């Protein structure tokens, strides 16, 4: 069931519209990138807005995204270490 849902997300017109603009935005210099807006009406849905916001954060702050992922991973490892210590 999840595979069917994942495949249906690929064919959504709103996500395709947002993806197209994000690809164009990525090729611009950083100074110009901040001025790009989502101008395609097809992408102006709730899911399109979420995708746009996440995409622009990843493009503009890749180090922040990497640190967030690492911090989450370290938090999980820390919890596992504490669980092992508690079992010992």
Tell me which residue of 18, 11, 23, 25 sits closest to 42, measured CA to CA: 18
Q: What is the pLDDT at residue 15?
A: 86
pTM, rounded to two decimals = 0.67
Tell me which residue of 52, 47, 65 sits closest to 25, measured CA to CA: 52
60's CB contacts (< 8 A; 6+ apart) are 30, 33, 34
Model confidence over 15-72: pLDDT tens digits? 888 999 999 999 998 888 888 887 778 778 888 889 899 999 999 999 999 999 999 9
């Amino acid at each position: 069931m999840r595979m069917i849902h994942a495949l249906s997300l690929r064919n959504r017109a709103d996500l395709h519209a947002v993806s197209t603009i994000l690809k164009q935005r990525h090729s611009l210099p950083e100074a110009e990138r901040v001025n790009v807006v989502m101008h395609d009406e097809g992408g102006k849905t709730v899911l399109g807005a979420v995708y746009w916001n996440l995409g622009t954060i990843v493009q503009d702050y890749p180090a922040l995204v990497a640190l967030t992922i690492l911090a989450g991973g370290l938090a999980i490892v820390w919890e596992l270490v504490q669980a092992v210590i508690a079992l010992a």
